[in-house]
Amino acid sequence: QLGDLLYEKRQYGKAKWACIKMKEKQYEQSICLGFMKLMRYICEQNSSGLYLGITVPIVTIVHTNEAHSAMTQAVTVAYYLPEVLQDEPPHPFDSDIIIEEWPATIVYSR
């Protein structure tokens, strides 16, 4: 609606995220496949064997070419690990998923 804020700005401190970079023919395919792989990690396909719980956000990072003039096919889908798992995140069974520590981050969510 006109005048309504269509997004929310969220700030996260330094934290660990489970990330997967995908590069399918279509942008939407990359997002869907990346999300499905992360969901398997969240839903027990990890070294703890436990359901990790859904957190907000699960983000999509769009990558651009070196000139920053066009999007590439590559996207990163990332899952913010719950606070209780920040010190020792479970290891993913899928070798495409990596645990990264990100600096303080601003996320725009809709």
Residue 8 in domain: no
- Residue by residue, DSSP assigns 32-95 as HHHHHHHHHHHBT-BTT-SB----S-EEEEEEE-TTSSSEEEEEEEEEEPPGGGSSSPPPBSST
Residue 54 in domain: yes
> Model confidence at 58, in pLDDT bands (50, 70, 90)?
confident
Contact of 46 with 90, CB cutoff 8 Å: yes
State phi, psi for 34 to the nearest 5 degrees.
-60, -45
> How far apart are the C-alpha atoms of 86 and 89, rounded to whole Å?
6
Residue 2 in domain: no
Mean pLDDT lowest for which of 5-9, 58-62, 82-86, 92-96?
5-9
> How far apart are the C-alpha atoms of 14 and 86, rounded to whole Å?
10
The CATH number of residue 42's host domain is 3.20.80.10
Residue 13 in domain: no
Residue 14 in domain: no
* Interstrand relation of 8-12 and 105-109 (parallel, antiparallel or unpaired): antiparallel
**Total of domains in the chain:** 1
pTM for the whole structure:
0.84
Residue 42 in domain: yes
Residue 1 reports pLDDT greater than 70 = no
Whole-Å CA distances, 60 to 5, 29, 47, 82, 87: 20, 12, 24, 18, 23
Domain that holds residue 56: 23-105
Residue 30 in domain: yes
Residue 15 reports pLDDT greater than 70 = yes
